[in-house]
Amino acid sequence: MVRPRRPTDVPEDELPRGDGNYAMARALNRMTEFLQQNFRPQQREQYRAMQAGCTYERFLAHRTPAFSGEEDPLRARRWIQDLERTFEVCGCTEAQRVLYGSYMLQGDVANWWETKRSLLEMELGSLAAVSWQRFRKEFDDRVFPVSVRRQMAREFNNLVQGDMTVEQYARKFMELGRFALHLIATEEMRAKRFQEGLRPQIRRQVACLEI
């Protein structure tokens, strides 16, 4: 028994005009030819890489919030850290980290990434060549310009416990300390700076322990 030809098996010049099914087949034929001619090797590698690691559905199940760029710098830093924890748990590949992370951008920062992505593709040859480390660098340069980093460093330099609990003070110390590493370059410098910011009564108790 001869199998009837499917619409996509029929050459375009044999497709009868006016038939809806065959008109669709003609469009599919042209699309297939286009993909075969234009789907570059780098894109095929990226597609194969996306089949491994973590599916997008599994990534979304962790409910990582979107990022609009309107958040304060410390919130932006925590957002990146939350993303990286999710990537690690899900086993995301390098390509998936860039793709999933950039998809969570919204508003002006999403528009910024569209432009930056085009520039990176021109520079590196394809989006697949963009590493997560490069994405983080570009993100930091966008969200943490020099003026913001200097402001965070000043806040760290003036940080004191005040009305915060020791735990809250320690959290703030670690968050702002990333912007002033030159002030806490050694363990001794970190301990001394942390102690200096404590409330006087607590600082005296700590001083007696000679930590």
Q: How confident is the model over 142-172, as pLDDT tens digits?
A: 988 888 889 989 999 999 999 999 999 999 9
Give pLDDT, residue 44.
53
Q: Is 67 helix (H, G, I), strand (E, B) or coil?
A: strand
Closest CA to 52 of 16, 103, 108, 94: 94
Candidate from 24-28, 54-58, 97-101 with smallest mean pLDDT: 24-28
Tell whether the model's pLDDT for residue 183 goes beyond 60: yes
Radius of gyration of the chain from its Cα atoms, rounded to whole angstroms: 27
Neighbour-count burial for 169-181, b at 16+ CB within 10 Å, e otherwise: beebbebbbebbe
Residue 201 half-sphere exposure, CB side, CA atoms within 13 Å?
3
Read off the tokens for 175: 């968050």
Beta carbons within 8 Å of 103's beta carbon, 6+ residues apart: none
% residues pLDDT > 90 (the chain): 42
pLDDT value at 49 more than 80: no
Closest CA to 172 of 183, 185, 187, 162: 162
13: phi then psi, degrees, rounded to nearest 5: -70, -10
